[in-house]
Structure 1
Amino acid sequence: VAGCAAMVERLVLPPGSDATLPEDPVQARAFAREHPDRQEVRIVAGATRGGSTYCALRLRAHDEDASVVGGIDLVPGLLALLRDTLTDPHDQPARDEPSEEKP
């Protein structure tokens, strides 16, 4: 596999909404779904084994090609997950085992 990509849709709330966001996850999801100023965003992120990455974001309210925002590191957490899927665990020492040092 040369690379991989993922597409995610999320609700984005306006600045300041965190102060009124419920702590309970179920209530927080309901709050976000019902918020009058919510925005739906579609995120596509991709990574290659060679280390190249790219992300594209578009709000549903601005569903035109000219409104797509793109960049190499717009969603770092998602890109890290994609890079991890491309890492062969057999090529790396286990985290709790000491690595062998070569002379």
Structure 2
Amino acid sequence: MGRSIAIDLNPKFEIEIEGGPIATALGLDQDTFFTLLEQRKIDQLCERGTEEDEGLYRASFYYENKRARIVVDKTGKPIGEIEASTREKGKRSAS
């Protein structure tokens, strides 16, 4: 298992998810991904599910024109596949 990513939630609650698949979805090797993450060159957003999605969290990672998004449970276990997309000149295309 590779390095994990801590996701900050409000109220303070941490979930760790596997970083390698996120790096791959952004087109980066794992070492570069973590370096950019530590340099705050990769933006992160975590959203908490409500109603039927309560107990789930959607983490999005943005680098240049790419986005990787994953839904996890409170233990960090992925629910479904990572969604990767690329934005070109104001347009977004999922991959």
State the TM-score bracket (shorter-chain normalisation).
Answer: 0.3 to 0.5
Larger Rg over CA atoms: 1
- Name the structure where helix makes up a greater proportion of residues: 1
| TM-score normalised by length of structure 2 | 0.36
Question: Using CA pairs below 8 Å that are at least 6 residues apart, which structure has the higher relative contact order?
Answer: 1
